[in-house]
Amino acid sequence: MTTRLSKLQAIVLDTFGENILSVNDALNELTIEVATDLLYPTLKELRDNDELQFEQLIDVAGVDYLHYGLDEWSTEKASGRGFERGRSTKSKSEWQKPRYAVVYHLLSVTLNQRIRVRTFVEAESMLVPSVVELWNGANWFEREAFDLFGLLFDGHPDLRRLLTDYGFIGHPFRKDFPVVGELEMRYDEEQEQCVYEPVSIEERILVPRVIR
Residue 191 has pLDDT above 50, yes or no: yes
- pLDDT digit string (tens) for 148-187? 999 999 999 999 999 988 778 889 999 988 887 777 778 9
* pLDDT given at position 86: 47
Residue ranges per structural domain of the chain = 3-198
CATH superfamily entry for domain 3-198: NADH:ubiquinone oxidoreductase Nqo5 subunit (3.30.460.80)
Q: What is the mean pLDDT of the chain?
A: 86
- pLDDT digit string (tens) for 77-87? 555 554 444 45
* pLDDT given at position 55: 96
- 3-state SS of the chain is CCHHHHHHHHHHHHHHHHHEEEEECHHHCCEEEECHHHHHHHHHHHHHCCCCCCCEEEEEEEEECCCCCEECCCHHHCECCEHHHHCCCEECCCCCCCCEEEEEEEEECCCCEEEEEEEEECCCCCEEECCCCCCCCHHHHHHHHHHHHCCEEECCCCCCCCCCCCCCCCCCCCCCCCCCCCEEEEEECCCCEEEEEECCCCCCCCCCCCCC
* pLDDT given at position 179: 80
- pLDDT digit string (tens) for 63-113? 999 988 776 554 555 555 544 444 555 545 677 899 999 999 999 999 999
